[in-house]
Amino acid sequence: MTYSKKDVITFVINVVFPVKLCIGTALVASNGVPFVPLNFILLFLDTYWKHSMTDMYHNSRCTISRQTIVLLEENNIQANIIDYTSQPPHLADLKVLVKKLGLSPRSLLRKNEAIYKEMGLKDPVLSGKVLFEAMSQYTKLIERPIVVHHDKAILGPRPEAVLELFAL
C-alpha cells in the first residue's frame, strides 16, 4: 500500500504531534525523543486511506442510492454525500467522473428516462460534450449512485459493489 506525501503530512500534523504532546513520556525512544510505534502509524494510515476523500453522488429519490448510503455507514465509511439533483455537477466534474469510472459519457446516461428519448440522445454521432451538457442540465439522466474514492469510482446498480473501492 502506498501513501501520498499529502496523506503522510496530514497524519503527522493531526496525529503524531498531538500524540507526542499527550503521551510524550509514555512512548520514549532510547535517545529520549518521544515517538509513535510504526505499526500504529501504518494502522492509522490504512484507516485514513480507506475513509478519506470519498464522495457519493446521490439522488434521494433512488432506493439503490439510499441503500448505498446505509451500506457505507454500516462499514464506517464516511462519505461526502452530494445530492446532484439539487447541486448539478459542472461539465468538468462529469468529465472527471467518467475518467475515474473508466466509462464513456454515454455509459453514464439513464437510457430509460423520457428526456433521453425526447432529446434524441441515442444518436451515436452526438459528442461527449453534448451528452455532458444534457446530464448537467437534466440530472435525472445521470446513472446512480456514483461513489468516488481517491482516483477510482464505481457506478451502481449494486450497493455492495462500492465496497470494492475500499477492499472490504
Q: Which residues are catalytic?
A: 62
Sheet strand arrangement including 80-83: 80-83, 54-58, 146-149, 152-155
Q: Which of 55, 34, 41, 16 is nearest to 150 (CA)?
A: 55
For 96, other C-beta atoms within 10 Å of its C-beta total 15
C-alpha cell at 69: 448510503
Answer whether the bond into residue 105 is a cis peptide, omega within 30°: no
Measured CA to CA, the distance from residue 96 to residue 158 in angstroms comes to 22
Task: Using only the alpha carbons of the chain, give its radius of gyration.
Answer: 21
The C-alpha cell at 90 is: 459542472
